[in-house]
Amino acid sequence: MGKPKTSKSPKAPRAEHTEAETLDEALDEATPTALDAEATAFLGRVHTLLFNIPKHLERAKRHGYTQKEHDLGWELYTTASGKNRRFEHWLAESDERDVAAGVSAERMRLLQEIDAFENLWFPRMRALIPRVLPRESADRFAAAFFKDLSQQPLGPAVVDSVKTFLNRIDELASSAEPGARKLYETLGERGLTPKKIEAMRRLIAAAEEHRTPDRTAPALSRAEIAKAKEAQLAALESLRLWYNDWATTFRGVFGTRAQITLGLTVLKRKKKDAAPEQEDAAPEDATAEGEEEEDVEAGDF
């Protein structure tokens, strides 16, 4: 099933959406980098292997386990577990998730309207500046107007970005910059009239009343958060391949006791006083050399 267009897409349909559909789409876009129970358990097994393999290093080295492979395992584990992520990333994702989940239906409605305004007028402003301003000053003017100002994902940050945008529009009317007044008038001709600006300010004021207490949206770009999230999930997938490779190798060369130490096999007890069963902690079935026991899979990766 295809992924719905984001609110930033200029071709995304803006009408005939029920409130439930809007919330569902926002939930898809705002899903944070959450590790489920399986991924968390997997990271635990990897840590056990990395932490204990030095106890069995001589045999591991004979089968190709090198310092480079060991360092790679730790590097992938560190990134996949989220150690390199900043606190602000998690807070930003949490804020987006809270809004998308409809903590306040009224807040969602207000943010949707403000977000739609941002999607419409930020690109229009960028397109108008080089047309209206003198050629020699257009680039400098655009850089100054959009300094520390960019489109934000659907969430609390759109309130501040649009408020700043409107303040800078107001300044155009009295600016001595060549072409600024003409730009202000052109915006009015295109529909961004004083009446429209005032209506948007009222929406912003209403949205600020619904702002979550003691939480301020981090000043992070959506691209930065997406890049960090992508790196973490990519590391998790690479770590699965790394672990599966070495788990399969070590199961063929280590006995049961060593496998338990390395987290490759776990003991599973059925009932009280019953003999413990062995259970593999990796996707491949294998029996250690010289062992009679039959291992059972504990999980796929």
Over residues 169-184, the pLDDT tens digits come to 999 988 989 999 999 9
Mean pLDDT to the nearest integer, 8-34: 43
Q: Does the pLDDT of residue 215 top 50, yes or no? A: no
User: What are 37's two structure tokens?
Assistant: 């129970």
Higher pLDDT, 35 or 183: 183
Q: What pTM was computed for the model? A: 0.44
- Report the distance separating Cα 92 and Cα 96, nearest Å: 6
- pLDDT for position 46: 95
- Give me the residue spans of the domains in the chain: 37-87+225-280, 104-211
- Report the distance separating Cα 277 and Cα 182, nearest Å: 81
- List C-alpha distances in Å: 34 to 30, 81, 93, 99: 11, 10, 10, 17
- pLDDT for position 66: 96
- Report the distance separating Cα 41 and Cα 301, nearest Å: 11
- Report the distance separating Cα 234 and Cα 79, nearest Å: 9
CA distance from start to end of the chain:
23
Q: Does the pLDDT of residue 214 top 50, yes or no? A: no
- Report the distance separating Cα 120 and Cα 124, nearest Å: 7
pLDDT band at 208 (very low <50, low <70, confident <90, very high): confident
Neighbours of 202 (CB within 10 A): 9
Reference 126, options 114, 136, 139, 113; nearest CA is: 139
pLDDT band at 68 (very low <50, low <70, confident <90, very high): very high
- pLDDT for position 228: 81
Q: Lowest-confidence range among 47-51, 173-177, 179-183, 290-294?
A: 290-294
- pLDDT for position 108: 82
Mean pLDDT to the nearest integer, 248-268: 90
User: What are 239's two structure tokens?
Assistant: 């770590």
**Tens digit of pLDDT for each residue in 117-140?**
999 999 999 999 999 999 999 999
pLDDT band at 196 (very low <50, low <70, confident <90, very high): very high
- pLDDT for position 291: 40
**Tens digit of pLDDT for each residue in 69-117?**
999 999 999 999 888 777 666 666 655 555 445 446 778 889 999 999 9
- Report the distance separating Cα 301 and Cα 282, nearest Å: 8
Q: Does the pLDDT of residue 272 top 80, yes or no? A: no
User: What are 186's two structure tokens?
Assistant: 């052109």
Strand partners, 279: 266
- pLDDT for position 9: 41
Q: Does the pLDDT of residue 13 top 60, yes or no? A: no
- pLDDT for position 212: 53
- pLDDT for position 24: 46
